[in-house]
Amino acid sequence: MKMVMTGNYASAYGAKVCRAEVISAYPITPQTSVVEKIASLVSSGEMKAQFVNVESEHSAMAALISASMTGARTYTATSSHGLLLMHELLIWAAGARTPIVMSNICRANGPPWSVWADHHDAMAQRDTGWMQVFCEGNQEVLDSIIMSYKLAERPDIRLPSMINEDAFILSHTVEPVDVPDMELVDEFLPSYNPRFKLDVDEPYGFGSLVMPDMYMEFRYKINEAMEAARQGWRDVEKDFEKTFGRNHGGLVEFYNCEDADAVLLIMGSVASTAKDVVDKLCSEGKKVGMARLRVYRPFPVEEIRKLAGMTNIIGICDHSYTFGHWGPMAQEVRGALYGIADQPVMKNYIIGLGGKDMTPEILEKIFLKTLALKDGADQEIEWIGVKGLGGW
Amino acid sequence: MTKEELKGVYKTYQDLPLTPITSVNSSSNRTGFWKTNKPVLDESKCIKCNICWKFCPDVAISMNDDEFPKFDLGHCKGCGICAHECPKDAITMVMEGDVA
Amino acid sequence: MIEIRFHGRGGQGAVVASTILAEASFLEGKEVSAFPFFGVERRGAPVTAYTRIADTKIRNKSGIYAPDYVIVMDPSLLDAVNIAEGLKPGGLILVNTKKSPIQLRKDLGLEDDRKLATVPATDIAIKHRLGSSAAPIVNSSVLGAFAKASGVVGIESLIQSVKKNVPIKIEENAAAAREAYDSVVIH
């Protein structure tokens, strides 16, 4: 049924239609209404689940790891400092191969204190072994939860998945969202039933110490699963489209990229606004395109190389940064394109930190700057909109 | 993968389960040979108060109703906590080889 | 695309109003989005909320800086914020006040083609026992007036959306919206 709802409610309904059985969460702005909604769905009986109240995000993830190990389908949501507090257990969840699905409402880290959107919280979890999806709209938020369970629970994948939605821009903005029938979701998503689980009738010990002769083997298995998840996402998206009649572009969504003179590569909700800007500039005769990096882990190397074959100039817009060396996406894109023939001209833009609004006008300026880039002529990186810097 | 296979020897990473799984519990891990000293009970002093049973960090002391404590030497690591905590000094730690 | 800015105070229902309006237009088959100014909410502090309505999918996720309409939920906000800021030429400001639009135009010093509409939404809300007389809930009344003043949304879809979104006093809210629809004055 199509309804008007926020990204946070879309997250809650995503957990509901997937029949998540154990939810554990700790409230934090701007995630709170996700768990408020789930709590009310559980208390009204609309959702058959155990809601575990905990005293921190660290405990929430610990509760879900245990619950997932019993074979339950699990869900949580957090944001910013809550996600940072979870960090230790995110690594544990991946190592324990628990297919937990979590919504992260992407919010800047403090200080300075900020409740507004950027991707610094999520980027700091890059190496935890979680799959990471970045959404541009509320429908995608809901659909990505369904797709995540499907892939995360696959016996050869068995990795947790993090769905990232921008603070307020999605979390608190209402849009029309189609909530699929649970019967249809049931058809798409079989129940989760791992071979080895925490079970008093058939006891096993999990996560024990291994000696140095075996540790790398287990880590390699995580990596192997993550590499397989790359094709996995492409397949799941195809299956999803067959059942639900929509897709969100695979690992990288290409918008008008073929034969574009310049393309901006963007993650998250800013990509949506950028599509309007692409249309405007194209109507003025400028050949620009936009590529939206949707799945950040596993990193879509093939799609990025394909993009390099479509255009001569790529502006890489990081909604985050790594102090001392470029934005994280720029590092990865440049790494993925290392050594290929006809490497495009690339420039890194740091955009929208702490909720600095990415208006169509600012995006148009970035497109025009990027179109004007000549091979090797510009600097590597520019922070967009910093007062007193670069003419802003 | 079956319980039997879990006990097997792994030749390649592919033989391993997704995450370390053990099908045996720690009671099969015989740690008793780690000790230098072992506890010996003087039944004439023991009042069956349970304190040694409660304090044993390795759950190596068993007690049934109205019986004296029994030391599971297959798991006792010889730490001496029972002897230290015993209110009646009924437990003495003696060197393993020295017991007649 | 039609863009609307709401001015209210924390707790007054401006954010809910922006959602009710969006859903009313959605019921008429439009594409919609609505969002609060992304702030840390405090009761009584001036807050803004926004609604976008369009015939095609709304992709712009940035803020609204040049609205077609401005809705002011509380007359005391006229002194606290610049309500006409960014309003498009020919745009309309709807204010909850007992004043006439002519008087209000003088008070605001608004001397261009931007239109003014007024509605005594506080009186209407109190009459229908919405909230308390000290803190009346005016959003259904203000939206009823907006439906008439703007023509952006039909009163029947608006009332349907009001009924779906208000937690209590559903019929009273619907009646207030209808009364405000009939009471609004435009200049």
Residue B96 DSSP label: G
The average confidence (pLDDT) of chain B is 88
Report the pLDDT averaged over residues B18-46. Answer: 89
- For residue A272, the chain C residues in CB contact (below 8 A) are 59-61
Residues of A in Cβ contact (< 8 Å) with B7: none
Report the candidate in A155, A27, A149 with the shortest Cα–Cα distance to residue A97: A155
- pLDDT at A165 exceeding the cut of 80: yes
Disruptive mutation site among C21, C41, C51, C61 for chain A (greatest number of A CBs within 10 Å): C61
Residue A52 forms beta bridges with which residues? A24
Q: Is residue A391 part of a domain?
A: no
Residue A390 lies in a domain: no
Residue A216: Cβ-neighbour burial (10 angstroms; 0-12, 13-18, 19+): exposed
Average pLDDT over residues C106-118: 91
Containing domain of residue C46, as a range?
2-186
Q: How confident is the model at residue A390 (pLDDT cuts 50, 70, 90)?
A: confident
Q: Which residues of C touch A273 (CB under 8 A)?
A: 59-62
ipTM, two decimals: 0.93
CB contact under 8 A, A270 and C36: no
Contact B21/A206, CB-based, under 8 Å? Answer: yes
Would B81 be classed as within a structural domain?
yes
Q: pLDDT category, B31, cuts 50, 70, 90?
A: confident
Q: Has residue C61 got a pLDDT over 60? A: yes
- Asked if C74 contacts C13 with a C-beta cutoff of 8 angstroms, the reply is no
Query: Are A318 and A367 within one domain?
Result: yes
Least confident of A149-163, A193-207, A264-278, A325-339: A193-207
User: Rounded to an integer, what distance in angstroms lies between the CA atom of residue A186 and that of residue A189?
Assistant: 5
Q: Do B18 and A206 touch (CB under 8 A)?
A: no
Task: Give chain B's length.
Answer: 100
Percentage of chain A exceeding pLDDT 90 = 94
Taking the C-alpha atoms of residue A5 and residue A174, their distance in angstroms, rounded to an integer, is: 4
Cβ atoms of residues A8 and A33 within 8 Å: yes
Residues in B touching A205 (Cβ below 8 Å): 21-25
The DSSP string of A91-128 is HHHHHTT---EEEEEE---SSSP--S--SHHHHTTGGG
| Interface check B50 vs A, CB under 8 A | no
- Residue B97, pLDDT above cutoff 90: no
Are C61 and A174 within 8 A, CB to CB?
no
- Closest-CA residue in chain A for C29? A176
| Alpha helix (H) residue ranges in B1-100 | 3-6, 51-55, 81-85
Residue pLDDT, tens place only, A236-284? 999 999 999 999 999 999 999 999 999 999 999 999 999 999 999 999 9
The verdict on a CB contact (< 8 Å) between A174 and C32 is: yes
Gap from A244 CA to chain B (nearest CA, Å):
32
Give the per-residue pLDDT at C43.
Answer: 72
Q: Is the Cβ of C38 closer than 8 Å to some Cβ of chain A? A: yes
- Chain B, nearest residue to A210 by Cα: B20
Contact A87, A124 (CB under 8 A): yes
**Same-domain status, A232 and A256:** no
Which of A1, A31, A80, A173 best probes binding to C when mutated, by most C CB atoms within 10 angstroms? A173
Q: Are residues A233 and A320 in the same domain?
A: no
pLDDT, position A198: 94
Is B5 part of any domain? no
Closest alpha carbon to A317 in A325, A307, A327, A308: A327
pLDDT of residue C163: 96
Q: Are A121 and A83 in contact (CB under 8 A)?
A: yes
pLDDT in tens, C127-178: 999 998 888 999 999 999 999 999 999 999 999 999 999 989 999 999 999 9
**Residues of chain A whose C-beta is under 8 A from some C-beta in B?**
95-97, 158, 195-196, 203-210, 214, 217-218, 220-221
Nearest CA-CA distance, residue A168 and chain C, Å: 6
Mark whether A56 and A182 lie in a shared domain. Answer: yes
CB A292 within 8 A of CB A267: yes
B44 assigned to some structural domain: yes
**What is the Rg, in whole angstroms, of the alpha carbon atoms belonging to chain B?**
19
- How far is residue C65 CA from its own chain's centroid? 16
Decide: helix, strand or coil at residue A310. Answer: helix
Per the structure, the complete domain to which residue A69 belongs is given by 2-244
User: Cβ atoms within 10 A of the Cβ of B65, count?
Assistant: 5
Q: Are A33 and A9 in contact (CB under 8 A)?
A: yes
What's the average model confidence in pLDDT over A55-65? 98
How far apart are the C-alpha atoms of B93 and B35, rounded to whole Å?
11
Instruction: Evaluate whether C1 touches C31 at the Cβ level (below 8 Å).
Output: no
Establish if B21 touches chain A: CB-CB under 8 angstroms. yes
pLDDT above 80: residue B24: no
| Distance to chain C for A33, nearest Cα, Å | 14
Instruction: Identify the CATH number of the domain in which residue A59 sits.
Output: 3.40.50.970
Structural domain count, chain C: 1
- At C109, list the tokens: 């010093």
Distance between CA atoms of residues A263 and A257, nearest Å: 6
Give the pLDDT confidence of A351-381 residue by residue, as tens digits: 999 999 999 999 999 999 999 997 666 679 9
Structural domain harbouring B33: 26-95
Q: So what's the pLDDT on residue B98?
A: 60
Query: CATH no. for residue C38?
Result: 3.40.920.10
CA A188/CA A113 separation, integer angstroms? 42
What's the pLDDT at C156?
Answer: 98
User: Which is more confidently placed, B97 or A222?
Assistant: A222
- For the residues of B7-31, what is the DSSP string, one character each? TS--SSGGGS-SS-EESS-GGGS--
The verdict on a CB contact (< 8 Å) between C59 and A276 is yes
Residue C26 contacts A where some CB pair is shorter than 8 Å: yes
What CATH number does the domain containing B62 carry?
A: 3.30.70.20
| Chains B and C make contact, 3+ CB pairs within 8 Å | no
Q: How far is A34 from chain B (nearest CA, A)?
A: 31
Cα C142 to Cα A3, A243, A253, C116, distances in angstroms: 23, 43, 42, 14
For residue C40, pLDDT beyond 70: no
Q: Using the 3D structure, point to which of A185, A214, A244 is the last residue of a domain.
A: A244
Minimal CA–CA distance to B16: which of A216, A331, A370?
A216
Q: Which residues of C touch A275 (CB under 8 A)?
A: 59
Please check whether residue C168 touches A, CB under 8 A. no
Question: Backbone dihedral region of C44: left (phi > 0), alpha (psi from -120 to 50 degrees) or beta?
Answer: left
CB contact under 8 A, A276 and C62: no
Percent of chain A with pLDDT over 70: 99
Q: Tell me, yes or no, if B64 comes closer than 8 A to chain A by beta carbon.
A: no
Return mean pLDDT, chain A: 96
Residue A148, phi-psi category: left (phi > 0), alpha (psi -120 to 50), beta (remainder): alpha
pLDDT of residue A329: 98
pLDDT, residue C80, reads 86
| Number of domain units in chain A | 2
Please report the pLDDT score of residue A377 as a whole number: 60
Q: Is the pLDDT of residue A391 over 90?
A: no
Question: Is there a single domain that holds both residue A119 and residue A14?
Answer: yes
List pLDDT tens digits, range A144-153. Answer: 999 999 999 9
The shortest CB-CB distance from C60 to any of A168, A172, A273 is to A273
Domain count, chain B: 1
Least-confidence region, from A111-125, A204-218, A377-391, C50-64: A377-391
Q: A263 and A290 in one domain?
A: yes
Residue A216, C-beta contacts closer than 8 angstroms, at least 6 positions apart = none
Task: Tally Cβ neighbours within 10 Å of residue A155.
Answer: 11
Tell me how far apart the terminal alpha carbons of chain A are, to the nearest angstrom: 45
pLDDT at B27 over 90: no
pLDDT tens track for A80-137: 999 999 999 999 999 999 999 999 999 999 999 999 999 999 999 999 999 999 999 9
The pLDDT score that the predictor gives to residue B100 is 52
Classify residue A316: in a domain, yes or no: yes
Domain final residue pick, A244, A263, A293? A244
- Label residue B28 by pLDDT band (50, 70, 90): confident
Binary contact (A218, B20; C-beta < 8 A): yes
Chains that touch A (3 or more CB pairs under 8 A): B, C
**Could you say which of A244, A272, A296 is where a domain stops?**
A244
Residue with tokens 């690992």: A251
- Residue B51: helix, strand or coil by DSSP? helix
Which residues, including other chains, have CB under 8 Å from residue A201's CB and lie 6 or more apart? Answer: none
Q: Which residues of A touch C17 (CB under 8 A)?
A: none
Q: Give pTM, 2 decimals.
A: 0.92
pLDDT of B1 reads 52
- Average pLDDT of the residues in B19-47: 89
Least Cα separation, residue A340 to chain C (angstroms): 34
Whether the Cβ atoms of residue C17 and residue C93 lie closer than 8 Å to each other: no
Within a domain: residue A392?
Answer: no
Number of alpha helices (DSSP H) and beta strands (DSSP E) in chain B: 3, 5
